[in-house]
Amino acid sequence: MLSVPFQASKLWGEIEGFRKKLAHAEAVYEEKKIKPTHKTGTLGLYGPQVDSIDYYKAKKERLEAALKEEEVSIAKSTSQKGAAIVIFKNRAAATNASQVFFFFLKK
């Protein structure tokens, strides 16, 4: 069984893929002034011929809606603990922050 964050990560990867394909289709349209089309079946050889821009926009919007649902389910999940990612510009700042954190943790 896949974990919930992994499913959200997989959806995000698919959204990024369709976002890149959409950007490419829009660039082709800007350059050639002809709407690009493709077939939706296996390897682009089978299936109905569709407008690439409209198809990728619809797929991206559907996946974004699914990702929002996953985010809500992750937020409601009791197994999810509070976490944060902190990035420091140098090692001294990180050391100082960890010392302050552990000082107040012991009290």
Structure-token pair, residue 44:
């682009």
For residue 82, the model assigns a pLDDT of 67
For residue 60, the model assigns a pLDDT of 95
Taking a C-beta distance cutoff of 8 angstroms, is the pair 44, 37 a contact?
A: no
Q: 8: which residues sit within 8 A by CB, 6+ positions away?
A: 67, 70, 71, 74
**pTM exceeds 0.85:** no
Longest dimension (CA), the chain: 68
- Phi/psi-derived region of residue 33, left when phi > 0, alpha when psi is between -120 and 50, beta in every other case: left
Judged on CB neighbours under 10 Å (0-12, 13-18, 19+), 19 is middle
pLDDT along the chain (107 residues), means of 10: 67 92 96 93 90 96 92 72 78 90 75
For residue 75, the model assigns a pLDDT of 74
For residue 8, the model assigns a pLDDT of 80
Instruction: Report how far residue 37's alpha carbon sits from residue 24's, in angstroms, rounded to the nearest whole number.
Output: 12
